[in-house]
Amino acid sequence: MDFSLSDTQRMLQETARRFAREELPQLARELEASGEPVPADWLKRYAELGFLGLNTAEEYGGAGGSHLDALIVLEEFAKVSAAVAFPIFEATTGPVRILERFASPELRQRVVPRVVAGEMVVAISMSEPDAGTALTDLRTAARIEGEEIVINGSKRWCSGAGHSEGYVVLCRLSDAPGAKGIGAVFVERDTPGLSFGPQERLMGFRGIPSADMTFEEVRVPRSHLLADAGEFRKLMQAFNLERCGNATMSLGLAAGALEQTLDYVQERRQFGKAIIDFQAVQLRLAEMAVKVEAARLLIHRAASVAPGEFPEAQQAAMAKCFANEMAREVAGAGVQLMGGYGYAKAYGMEQRLRDAWGWGIAGGTLDIQKINIAAGLVGRRFNQRA
């Protein structure tokens, strides 16, 4: 088993690392202060460098690379901040992969190249006021009337809501109970009947918009159907890649925290010497490094699948679960080792800690990941309603 990156992947990693470190820190500070997402001119720059289409097929303007190629780049951006990395997360591991795999040829050709070109951002709309972890309880309903799909309902915690130009909306397409009635539809932002609530004020994730969505007789062409009732399973297969993206956002955050802490402890002096010379600091740094590397290996294993395929559920859940918990621990250790500087907003470590907490909630909570892992171990699903 080869754990090393190819020469091409190392070059890609270095290109992304240099761009992220030299160009993005000031943008990250601006997004943290304003709460606004990455502006359109920066999206164009991402696109020009090929960062938005790394694992998109060449026929849609992408590079035709692997999922691992995309995650390598995503980690480098996430080392700077979640906000500057989020467009790459959405374009390479999120709902765009659902569109590329399951949309009609006409819809794929109309949407995916625009994402790759930095002209459009697509978000996924899943959770509802009474359906988060229990996603199969969702009530947003869609009915087919001739050549149109009509949607009614509400969504909550949609990252990108109000700012993204398109949405992959999970909804109930039949009266069949649970997952059997759930499918997905593509909806564009300016569609009549679709409205957005005020932007949420969150503990972290500044620069990643989140808002409620309301659908009132929203009509889209029937060709916007991505998955019909009963095809929930294939949507979740695609979502395994999103979980690897989520894990990589945690990984990048933690790897950035480790790098920042390592620089600090070699410069900070107490009792007449650099604090790196204290054994307690050395032990904490080693623990941080081991956790970061272990998360990276789990993610890369899960993502090392054949081109066009999605990661296996068990491996994706393990990678996400470990990386989410690891990021909280590593960022917390960074705050502790940096002391007052770690706790001060001016130095960015406290932001890493706040953002780290969010990834263990988004995309499936830590607890539900552990339940899914246990289900995989015993070979059966657990009925949470019994």
Residues with Cβ within 8 Å of 319's Cβ and at least 6 positions away in sequence, in order, are 243, 244, 247, 295, 298, 299, 301, 302
Token representation of residue 177: 């109970």
Q: Return the CATH number at 258.
A: 1.20.140.10
> Are 239 and 374 within one domain?
yes
Q: Return the CATH number at 41.
A: 1.10.540.10
* pLDDT tens digits for range 24-80: 999 999 999 999 999 999 999 999 999 999 999 999 999 999 999 999 999 999 999
> Are 361 and 237 within one domain?
yes
| Residue 257 in domain | yes
Residue 157 region by backbone torsions, left for phi larger than 0, else alpha for psi between -120 and 50, else beta = left
* Cβ-contact 246, 73 below 8 angstroms: no
> Are 354 and 324 within one domain?
yes
> Are 216 and 247 within one domain?
no
| Residue 72 in domain | yes
Digits of tens for pLDDT over the chain (386 positions)? 778 899 999 999 999 999 999 999 999 999 999 999 999 999 999 999 999 999 999 999 999 999 999 999 999 999 999 999 999 999 999 999 999 999 999 999 999 999 999 999 999 999 999 888 888 899 999 999 999 999 999 999 999 999 999 999 999 999 999 999 999 999 999 999 999 999 999 999 999 999 999 999 999 999 999 999 999 999 999 999 999 999 999 999 999 999 999 999 999 999 999 999 999 999 999 999 999 999 999 999 999 987 779 999 999 999 999 999 999 999 999 999 999 999 999 999 999 999 999 999 999 899 999 999 999 999 998 887 77
Integer Cα distance of 327 and 213 in angstroms: 30
| Residue 87 in domain | yes
Residues with Cβ within 8 Å of 14's Cβ and at least 6 positions away in sequence, in order, are none
> Are 279 and 183 within one domain?
no
| Residue 356 in domain | yes
| Residue 2 in domain | no
DSSP string, 203-251: SS-TTS-EEEEEEEEEEEEGGGEEE-TT-HHHHHHHHHHHHHHHHHHHH
> Are 200 and 108 within one domain?
no
* pLDDT tens digits for range 83-138: 999 999 999 999 999 999 999 999 999 999 999 999 999 999 999 998 888 888 99
Listed residue (271, 279, 260) closest to 338, CA to CA: 260
Report CA-CA distances (Å) from 23 to 17, 117, 210, 239, 301: 10, 19, 26, 31, 30
> Are 26 and 14 within one domain?
yes
> Are 374 and 237 within one domain?
yes
| Residue 384 in domain | no
Question: What is the CA angle 272-349-95, rounded to 5?
Answer: 155
Among residues 116, 131, 156, which one ends one of the domains? 116
> Are 211 and 251 within one domain?
no
| Residue 385 in domain | no
Integer Cα distance of 308 and 67 in angstroms: 8
Domain span at residue 90 reads 7-116
Q: How many helices (H) and strands (E) does the chain have?
A: 13, 10
* Total domain count, the chain: 3
Among residues 229, 248, 269, which one ends one of the domains? 229
> Are 255 and 373 within one domain?
yes
> Are 238 and 373 within one domain?
yes
Among residues 86, 116, 146, which one ends one of the domains? 116
Listed residue (159, 326, 154, 360) closest to 257, CA to CA: 326
| Residue 268 in domain | yes
Residues with Cβ within 8 Å of 222's Cβ and at least 6 positions away in sequence, in order, are 144, 146, 147, 148, 149
How many angstroms separate the first and last alpha carbons of the chain?
Answer: 43
Residues with Cβ within 8 Å of 369's Cβ and at least 6 positions away in sequence, in order, are 243, 317, 318, 320, 321, 324
> Are 27 and 80 within one domain?
yes
pTM, entire model: 0.95
Q: Return the CATH number at 138.
A: 2.40.110.10
| b/e burial code for range 134-152 (CB count within 10 A of at least 16 → b) | ebeebebbbeeeeeebbbb
